[in-house]
Structure 1
Amino acid sequence: MAAIVVPVPALAPGVPALAPVVADNRYETVNWKILVRSPGNIFERFGNNSFPVKQGVYMFDRNNEVEKCRVHLRVDAGGTGSLLVNAARIYHLNPSATLMAFLYLENKPQPEIISRLSQVFQIPAEQAKTDLLSYIPTIEGLIHPGTACPVCDFELETKAPFSNRSFAPYRMDLAITYRCNNNCAHCYNARSRNYPEMTTDEWKKVLDRCWNIGIPHIIFTGGEPTLRDDLAELIAHAQSLGQITGINTNGRRLSDASYVQMLIEAGLDHVQVTLESDDPSIHDRLVCHDGAWEETVSGIQNVVHSNLYMMTNTTLLQDNYQNLRSTIGFLKEIGVKTVGLNALIYSGRGKTVGTGLPESELPSLLNIARKFTTENDQRLIWYTPTQYCHFDPIALQLGIKGCTAALYNMCIEPDGSVIPCQSYYEPVGKILSDDWPSIWNHPLCVSLRERRNVPEACK
């Protein structure tokens, strides 16, 4: 993807312009360098505690006649910020851009914004006005640039915009149950299906805590999240806080159109459904449940006919890879516009099932997938991080891939234990009893973020 050049207003004289920011087609990162005086940031003179906007996450609905849009502005203690659009795109802001974004999204009158900028940054009002008028069309372009996937677009940072690390992930996956009405032989879940589960009230407290920590995006997963009868109630609670919500599901309960409507009315934003093949016998054999395919496909069709963002996911295995082309074609026929693929996850049963494909076979399969999704006007998403010396996703135009555990996403188990991601079953704390800094800064989390255990050959 070509470099994206973002106009940069210069509120202070002598501020050098930024080089173009490169954003790949997976994760967009924008550095705003307004109100920066060499050699450091103007806010250094005030200290971190003097930033006009309190640390936390702020939600703004910016819907128009074309699309629904929910914007989150997450403000760090020192004033740097992150602008998240529909939980799918993220733009990193320095303190000056953070303040301007906050005031603009709060719908403050332009004279008030200009006065505030002039006062805080000690610049003439006319200069503040010029830069605000330049900023407004740019930020509107960031908020409404087109369609994006809330699950797959938000993956990997292509350029570290600031030296400080974030204080929390942007997405929390809530495994509200490990129960499941399928029994996939390749399932990565390493826990008992009868794992202890928190109550509805406890999960609401978890959602409250996530919001207070500054986490704007929630995905309900499992196990199979639709087996909990309080799923709609939990979605509604997250919606009331201002969070964006999605579910990862096998889709079988979604075959009940009234249930889908209930989730929509609760405020659900997006759905990912697992379909292992267009062939019912292959799908049912892989999920170890006769008749599952029919319910899953019915569920997919119900979601396609709703206003929810919808995508599927398929694990490429020895038993289904030969049907890849026909599966993509089938998904096109039933209206699926975004197709997700991944390799076997070597966790849980995936460690021993023995049906995974070697990395050497993946490029040819993904070239097939890319060819046919392009012809079908579908979007192809590849999830799995790989060693680039064995399989380079960039060369296949699949975007940058890397592990985002304990960085952009984490997971909470049914009993409240926090783990780095859905398939890394090593708890780093309890969400309702441990303080958040001790969880976020747990040695395992720090090790994952800093890539301390990277194999020698990859360094």
Structure 2
Amino acid sequence: MRLVSHPVLCNYYVTYRCNATCSFCDIWERPSPYVTPENVRENLRDLKRLGVRVIDFTGGEPLLHRQLPDLLAEAKQLGFITTITTNGLLYPKYADRLRGLVDMLHFSLDSPIAEEHDRSRGVTCFDKVMESIGVARQLGERPDILFTVFEHNVGQIKQLHEEICLPNNLVLILNPVFEYNSVDTGEQFSEATLQQMTWWGRQKNVYLNDAFIQLRRDGGNHVDNPVCRAGSTTLVISPENKLVLPCYHLGLKDFAIDGNLYNLYRSDEVQKLVALEGRLPGCEGCAINCYMQPSFAVEINKYWWKALPSTLKYNRVKGMWKQLF
């Protein structure tokens, strides 16, 4: 049963540029402009009309956009829930300007061991993440640690949880790695690793959407019976001010927005692509978290029930109830 029929999330790529070169990501390889405040202002108003609740200002590295605080302020004034994920390199520089503007602030950390994290990111940034945690806490912010889980680093969750997250009262978000395009993320998860992640997801200050685990056990999305609702739940806007369909990673087609996002999204041409969500050849086996998360939230099925406990837990810990209702 479908609960919500309108889009709920916008993945707003403020730039594809990045100051890291992560081995499990190819976004940083793309040339890219930066979004303009004028376009963002127009699009936010139309996103509001379309029913979107959450704006994820993403990249690349979103803090490379020097006007990001202004973009976040625009979104907050319109009542959106805001989120950014950063590698921490620039956060201490902009922390004062970002204060109070980010509802879900995520610092990426791939290992509790500095050398391993820096090698994963292709740049020295572990110490900047530690500095960012301290700065954010001094400002009264409540950041989360986003840990990308691989088969080879699942054993480091304990150290990361005990040495970094609990002492700083941070939520540890477990983000199972996913494959896409030509990016090679390594071997598939073993059943033992899936079980470890589920166990950790039940511990204090740890968030794991257990529907991610179920989806991997099921072999990802299947085009003959798709769980993906990316096209109808999530709008993707590129730095070139284009609407990208059916999602960023598949990116079959883009449409120039030209100040008319509301009517563009509702147009026949766009809705025909939306209707193919999860059914295109490239959708087979997909388990991309940033599109499955909203997909699990809008339709009652086994994934909805799997996702519910972790969703309630995160919102309780973060105190976000008033913003969601």
Q: For 2:133 and 2:15, how far apart are their aligned partners in 1?
A: 22
- 1:59-458 matches, within 5 Å, as 159-161=1-3, 166=5, 168-189=6-27, 192-256=29-93, 259-264=94-99, 267-290=101-124, 292-348=125-181, 351-370=182-201, 374=203, 377-382=204-209, 385=212, 388=215, 390=217, 403-419=228-244, 420-432=246-258, 433=260, 435-438=264-267, 441-448=270-277
- Does the 8 Å CA contact 1:313/1:340 hold for their aligned counterparts? yes
Shift of 1:313: 1.4
Q: For 2:92 and 2:9, how far apart are their aligned partners in 1?
A: 27
With CA pairs under 8 Å and 6+ residues apart, which has the higher RCO, 1 or 2? 2
Q: For 2:210 and 2:105, how far apart are their aligned partners in 1?
A: 16
Shift of 1:368: 4.8
- Specify the structure having the higher radius of gyration (Cα): 1
Q: CA, structure 1 residues 250+422, in 2 after alignment: closer, same or farther (shift >3 Å)?
A: farther
Superposed CA RMSD: 3.2
Q: For 2:132 and 2:213, how far apart are their aligned partners in 1?
A: 31
Match of 1:448, as an amino acid?
E
Give a deviation string over 1:397-456, Cα, whole Å, max 9, x none. Answer: xxxx9534123223211112223444333334233356221278433321216x577869
Shift of 1:326: 0.9
Give a deviation string over 1:138-159, Cα, whole Å, max 9, x none. Answer: xxxxxxxxxxxxxxxxxxxxx4
Shift of 1:243: 2.0
Q: CA, structure 1 residues 250+356, in 2 after alignment: closer, same or farther (shift >3 Å)?
A: farther
Q: CA, structure 1 residues 252+439, in 2 after alignment: closer, same or farther (shift >3 Å)?
A: farther
- Does the 8 Å CA contact 1:232/1:263 hold for their aligned counterparts? yes
Q: For 1:336 and 1:318, how far apart are their aligned partners in 2?
A: 26
Query: Given the two structures, how large is their TM-score scaled by the length of structure 2?
Result: 0.73
User: Helix, strand or coil: the match of 1:410?
Assistant: strand
Q: For 1:452 and 1:178, how far apart are their aligned partners in 2?
A: 25
Q: For 1:234 and 1:263, how far apart are their aligned partners in 2?
A: 10
User: Helix, strand or coil: the match of 1:237?
Assistant: helix
Q: For 2:269 and 2:116, how far apart are their aligned partners in 1?
A: 41
Quick check: which one's helix share is greater?
2
Give a deviation string over 1:340-367, Cα, whole Å, max 9, x none. Answer: 122222125xx34342443534323314
- Does the 8 Å CA contact 2:165/2:172 hold for their aligned counterparts? no
1:18 corresponds to: none
Shift of 1:204: 2.1
- Does the 8 Å CA contact 1:255/1:296 hold for their aligned counterparts? no
Residue identity over aligned pairs, in percent, reads 21
1:84 corresponds to: none
User: Helix, strand or coil: the match of 1:447?
Assistant: coil
